[in-house]
Structure 1
């Protein structure tokens, strides 16, 4: 019965990877936005290449620690500790993917395409739009209609706007 298509266990296994993608995407987007907002308050000389590296290293550290915590919390008796930890860390790729727009914006500033301040503003705008998209997608995947999905996306987008507002007020 557990292997049949109608088994209650089957949808849960399929849903977990999607939940990890959604969780990692939202977490990574909020994480990147918070880092970008912090960079805008940096009083030192602009160094977008260093800042891009800093965002990337911080994201790797967050993904590794989150994956490691999952591995410890869900340790499987038949799975060697190293293997389960490695798999858990690799499963955090959505978090890493979500910070790439911020890293790309900073690297484009390093290339001289625009100022670091403009790159960070663009990253915050893209991340805010991405939060809307994550909320929309998650709600649609849950089987809700477009109106509910747009409302959920709007609420998620408020996180991005909150970060932008907090950044503006802190200056």
Structure 2
């Protein structure tokens, strides 16, 4: 009997928790940047503590909506009660909420008087833009890409952050 050709075995797929971490990190960072850039105090005095709370609550609502939509979209006849699978799906969206915390911290720093609210927004946008590079780079490396391709992927993600920064400058 002739020998069968060797078929390369593909690398093991990464666990879904890592995929959710990367997705939530990128999504949450973009969400936080967009929300921070949208802050506008033309009609009153700055209130960075309120703005930080607003961003945190918006991220909680977004995570809840995303988890719920994910649970509904993947509903199957697996015997798991809908309530249990939905709660589990919502709770796995914690990376989205964690990704907004640097923006919330920057705004709370403004509340404490470390800098003005505009400075806090600038700091948050800078941190988030660098974080987007890191998220993209990490996601590409996890997917098995080399250092060059991972750097390009990180750079493309970083462009999303830079787009928000430029939009913020043009709008204000």
In the superposition, the TM-score normalised over structure 1's length comes to 0.90
Q: 1:29: which partner in 2?
A: 29
Deviation at 1:16, TM superposition (A): 1.5
Deviation at 1:11, TM superposition (A): 4.0
Rounded to whole Å, the distance in 2 between the matches of 1:153 and 1:35 is 22
Rounded to whole Å, the distance in 1 between the matches of 2:154 and 2:82 is 38
Give the RMSD, CA atoms, in angstroms. Answer: 1.6
Paired residues, what number? Answer: 162
Flag the structure with larger Rg.
2
Q: 1:115: which partner in 2?
A: 116
Q: 2:139: which partner in 1?
A: 138
Match of 1:114, SS? coil
**Runs of 5+ unmatched residues, structure 2:** 1-8
Rounded to whole Å, the distance in 2 between the matches of 1:37 and 1:73 is 31
Deviation at 1:45, TM superposition (A): 1.0
Q: 2:83: which partner in 1?
A: 82
Q: 1:149: which partner in 2?
A: 150
Q: 1:19: which partner in 2?
A: 19
Q: 2:103: which partner in 1?
A: 102
Deviation at 1:76, TM superposition (A): 3.5
Rounded to whole Å, the distance in 2 between the matches of 1:70 and 1:144 is 27
Rounded to whole Å, the distance in 1 between the matches of 2:138 and 2:24 is 13
**Runs of 5+ unmatched residues, structure 1:** 1-6
Match of 1:144, SS? coil
Q: 1:57: which partner in 2?
A: 57
Rounded to whole Å, the distance in 1 between the matches of 2:71 and 2:155 is 33
Q: Give deviations 1:31-59, integer Å, cap 9, x for gaps.
A: 000000001x3312100000000000000
Which 4+ runs in 1 deviate beyond 3 A? Answer: none
In the superposition, the TM-score normalised over structure 2's length comes to 0.90
Deviation at 1:134, TM superposition (A): 0.4
Match of 2:80, SS? coil
